[in-house]
Structure 1
């Protein structure tokens, strides 16, 4: 292959260009983190090689001592970070560095504001370790070779970070990756051994493989006037030989006793495993002993990762077996409703040669997962009880994900239910801060149900006509407006022995003496409205399953009620929006309830003109759909009928 064929000049993706610009301008005040990010990448590469070599020892190529080497060159103004980990092929270099192959990238960039402080936080959520090189360097050269590949299958990548990069095939003697940063003017502070060592000890001391730097050996003599020593030095033509020095503790943080670990150590380890740039919100560090012995160090991030809703995104918990990395995408370690959890689980009871296929069938791993989930739930329960402000911050970021818990994890449904937070008519705010325990403690005497309403927004839930009788009687109702709430409520049908009941489904039975009296009065009133109800049913036809007088309305003229076992109107709308073709035609038709005490309904009773009766009936029906947050099949017809009614009033 000719040199011209081997070397290419390629353009970055638009997203990468944008990202590089942000890296340079938004993160400059915290520029030393570039070293942490590159060392973390080197550590990950070593972990991956160690795992691959479990089944193919030849990948070590005779060198099984994994390490990261850090060096600087004052004359050429460069910093070099090299590892002897797994390395990359040329195609992998192009895939991982020339592009950002992440779902949700477009949405991530749409969130950027142009404000450096806010954007730097978002960049931290995105996780862009390698690109941090360009904060301090105006040119970066990366050379790499995949472990097990031939020496002439190396690759060199180089860029000034301005839109293009070169990529060529080279010969590389040793496996692994070497990154050379050609520093910008004014960055000479990093051409200093003490400065680099201090950064490593601050950010990367927990890395479990040695980080090596060269230590100059300076000869010293007992007596400054020792002429023999000076003469010996003068005669010795061999210069002092440099020595290697390990500048980190090189021990797995999670194996240490908790009392020996500082908060900043925990925080820096989190940033290493998550590639987040913010401190975590909370963590749990625990060792579980017994038949299935394991240690875990798990974190809740301060902010939700940008790909939280990407179902194909990798989970954030790494699996180790006796400090040997196994995999970083172990879905068997953490359920999807805890997919935001970051950290490690080190399983001492699993075999080192465990494979992904074995893991899928492993009862031991299932037990470890169950234990880890209990530890996470216990951590969240502790925060909710002892640090309510911190839990409020957690709920704001991850509440909707936790609501998936009762759907997915039936065994822990009660525990998860206690962690849930909702808006309600008690607080009269869209803030989700009401627990189910709070609700139960405020239930009225004789009340045996937890009432809720679902809607597409908080405003729609708060203003639902279904709440009118509950407000009148002072009965609290949960206001559910997250999309996940419909699925949640279908799996969480009771709490503390109390059934959860939608105020928009089925007949209303408030179990009070006043309620029984109101029912009797309504039955008497219904006799006077028999002909009106019959005529309304004729007008609406198969749009409704039934027309009846309403016990739940006090102010509105009409509303739609779903069958007690049917799908709510809000759920129908969600399914329809998702392309599932749901609508009134695919679910049992709603019940149309009218308020006999409302002026418009009274007008219906008196109306003698069949056309006007039909128009008014359709207007009331369409209004009921709109009050549920629904969409009209024919908005123009609604407007035409409404205008006709208004014109009639003006005559």
Structure 2
């Protein structure tokens, strides 16, 4: 008797974990539009189990035992209303049955529940979130799983009606010799899924490109009928593959049920030989921004499945799905060899460059299709600008931006450089959370008055890649909220003529000195502004300090991190500033000038998207000013 049998009860009933229980309730009571997907998921799981055994047999040839012909069999019994999906793959132990099917809510379970709540119909999301097994409860009133792990003596049975609990117990004498058998006792309204013709149609539609043969056998049939031959799609010539076949295979490898935005299929020959079949989705995977940033490319060696988590692409291409099949790698690849193999490194470099080339072609030939890709994955591609200096120029060609010239459409860096103003030497950008709000910030007034286009950067990664960006076509990137603007050499537009005379230089120098003395360490400096056109004041980062938005982002990530005091810039042409400068030069009341300094700093903080540094004091000053303006019963009439 094995240790597993000695320490496990003969039969045990357990409750599902909370998220799994919610998921099962959803499946049992589902009104999903496409219930056929349950069979796709069960066959996919069965094929994965066969591929895992094939991989194990590379280092342990005895893993096959007497049965090396891997296959998936779907048995129909219309009379009894049953459907059985079995495989002779790697199988599961008792603990694996418990872990995989009931007590551990996998990372995708909650995400699936949230996505379904927002869409209303989750049948197209099931594969994407890794909850495929549970979809059996859309059509079954009871599910029985019998499994024997490869090489194990004992077999175990898992069963549940999907209403909150499951039972695990030793399997009977008719348990699989190896692998897993899933029996569905079909619900009264799902009996059609026991009809052989219906099952064949579903398999051909959803699972035609599973890399393991799939057979169908009716209850009283003499033999199994092969429905899927297990031929790898990626080794076939492109001319022999239809768009529908590509779409079906994309759904199989990605779990997505949308259309791929880009299909990349080719065979590399020469010093290395390998086949590539990759897809760029139209929509974001739910786990795109998980901290691990792992890719989902399947690695095969001579059609033998090796792993689905080899680092075959850089993390900034983790949205790409598909298969790479090498003819040269050793079959007994260890994890260490995967990480340090020069052949894999060469494949990774070549395939990465090919993907960038194909994306560039898509952008040139179908701007609308590429715009969808950029909207879904632009934030991830921009990680490459920060992390991959070797491909920075190639990624620059792919980047798209909302700008002050077009806040809703997309502009390229080439578009920007072509439209630069006379004497403009830098590519200007502004960082924030919303393009329209950023475009309306006072720091952009002087740029707008001169017709200077500004990139509006609203992804969190933007704060990082611009730090590493050395420039484009010889033009450096420059933040509009960092350092001096240096805009004198760029003429104002005719319609933005200078309508107000600036404050006298001497008066302004007196005012900025008084403000700096009063505000003290709350600001790094107080100075006249070239970037303001109408507003009285704004905040910018010091010349050698980080961009304001980048500093805010870093402060949120590192609690307690100190921040560099900003520079308060005053607009010399603003009537309020001009009046204050004249008052300061004439020796006006210090307390009034100090109040003005405090109020201008607080208003600049608000315009910068922050609360005043001292909200209570700001509120008191504001109320006092209102009382003074509306004294004696309110403003005079007439």
Work out whether the TM-score is over 0.5. Answer: yes
Q: Which residue among 586, 591, 595 is the counterpart of 1:611?
A: 591
User: Is the aligned partner of 1:549 residue 2:519?
Assistant: no
Q: Which residue among 133, 141, 144 is the counterpart of 2:147?
A: 144
Cα gap change, 1:23 to 1:299, in 2 (>3 Å): farther
Which SS does the other structure have where 2:515 is aligned? helix
Which SS does the other structure have where 1:247 is aligned? strand
- The answer for the alignment partner of 1:238 in structure 2 is none
- 1:61, distance to aligned residue in structure 2 (A): 1.9
User: Is the aligned partner of 1:254 residue 2:231?
Assistant: no
**Partners of 1:550 and 1:593 within 8 A in 2:** yes
Q: Which residue among 472, 479, 487 is the counterpart of 2:464?
A: 487
* C-alpha separation in 1, matches of 2:308 and 2:119: 33
**Partners of 2:125 and 2:257 within 8 A in 1:** no
Structure 1 residues without counterparts, runs of 5 or longer: 218-240
Which SS does the other structure have where 2:410 is aligned? coil
- The answer for the alignment partner of 1:398 in structure 2 is 377
- 1:100, distance to aligned residue in structure 2 (A): 5.4
For 1:309-334, what per-residue CA distance to the aligned partner results, in whole angstroms no more than 9, with x for missing partners?
1123652101001100111111x201
- The answer for the alignment partner of 2:567 in structure 1 is 591
Cα gap change, 1:196 to 1:121, in 2 (>3 Å): closer
- The answer for the alignment partner of 1:570 in structure 2 is 549
User: Is the aligned partner of 1:135 residue 2:138?
Assistant: yes
- The answer for the alignment partner of 1:163 in structure 2 is 164
For 1:480-534, what per-residue CA distance to the aligned partner results, in whole angstroms no more than 9, with x for missing partners?
122111012112231122211111112222363648xx99x99993322222111
If the length of structure 2 is used for normalisation, what is the TM-score? 0.91
Which SS does the other structure have where 1:292 is aligned? coil
Cα gap change, 1:68 to 1:120, in 2 (>3 Å): closer
- The answer for the alignment partner of 2:93 in structure 1 is 89
- The answer for the alignment partner of 2:624 in structure 1 is 644
* C-alpha separation in 2, matches of 1:460 and 1:438: 23
Cα gap change, 1:216 to 1:243, in 2 (>3 Å): farther
- 1:417, distance to aligned residue in structure 2 (A): 1.4
- The answer for the alignment partner of 2:312 in structure 1 is 333
For 1:243-272, what per-residue CA distance to the aligned partner results, in whole angstroms no more than 9, with x for missing partners?
333221321110100110111111111121
Which segment is superposed worse, 186-195 or 433-442?
A: 186-195
User: Is the aligned partner of 1:72 residue 2:51?
Assistant: no
* C-alpha separation in 2, matches of 1:315 and 1:168: 37
- 1:210, distance to aligned residue in structure 2 (A): 1.6
User: Is the aligned partner of 1:191 residue 2:170?
Assistant: no
Cα gap change, 1:581 to 1:112, in 2 (>3 Å): farther
* C-alpha separation in 2, matches of 1:610 and 1:510: 33
Which SS does the other structure have where 2:390 is aligned? helix
Which SS does the other structure have where 2:374 is aligned? helix
- Alignment RMSD (CA, Å): 2.6
User: Is the aligned partner of 1:474 residue 2:475?
Assistant: no
* C-alpha separation in 2, matches of 1:146 and 1:325: 19
If the length of structure 1 is used for normalisation, what is the TM-score? 0.89
**Partners of 1:572 and 1:582 within 8 A in 2:** no
User: Is the aligned partner of 1:448 residue 2:425?
Assistant: yes
**Partners of 2:213 and 2:228 within 8 A in 1:** yes
Structure 2 residues without counterparts, runs of 5 or longer: 632-638
**Partners of 1:144 and 1:155 within 8 A in 2:** yes
* C-alpha separation in 2, matches of 1:128 and 1:475: 51
Cα gap change, 1:84 to 1:305, in 2 (>3 Å): same
Which segment is superposed worse, 124-133 or 555-564?
A: 124-133
Cα gap change, 1:571 to 1:432, in 2 (>3 Å): farther
- 1:286, distance to aligned residue in structure 2 (A): 1.1
Cα gap change, 1:64 to 1:104, in 2 (>3 Å): closer
Q: Which residue among 247, 260, 277 is the counterpart of 1:297?
A: 277
- The answer for the alignment partner of 2:265 in structure 1 is 285
* C-alpha separation in 1, matches of 2:208 and 2:158: 29
* C-alpha separation in 2, matches of 1:16 and 1:544: 54
* C-alpha separation in 1, matches of 2:178 and 2:108: 33
**Partners of 1:69 and 1:82 within 8 A in 2:** yes
For 1:593-642, what per-residue CA distance to the aligned partner results, in whole angstroms no more than 9, with x for missing partners?
11122233234331623222222201111221222222333212211122
Cα gap change, 1:522 to 1:536, in 2 (>3 Å): farther
Q: Which residue among 355, 358, 373 is the counterpart of 1:376?
A: 355
User: Is the aligned partner of 1:178 residue 2:158?
Assistant: no
User: Is the aligned partner of 1:51 residue 2:51?
Assistant: no
For 1:217-248, what per-residue CA distance to the aligned partner results, in whole angstroms no more than 9, with x for missing partners?
9xxxxxxxxxxxxxxxxxxxxxxx82333221
Which SS does the other structure have where 1:494 is aligned? coil
* C-alpha separation in 1, matches of 2:490 and 2:443: 20
Cα gap change, 1:530 to 1:454, in 2 (>3 Å): same
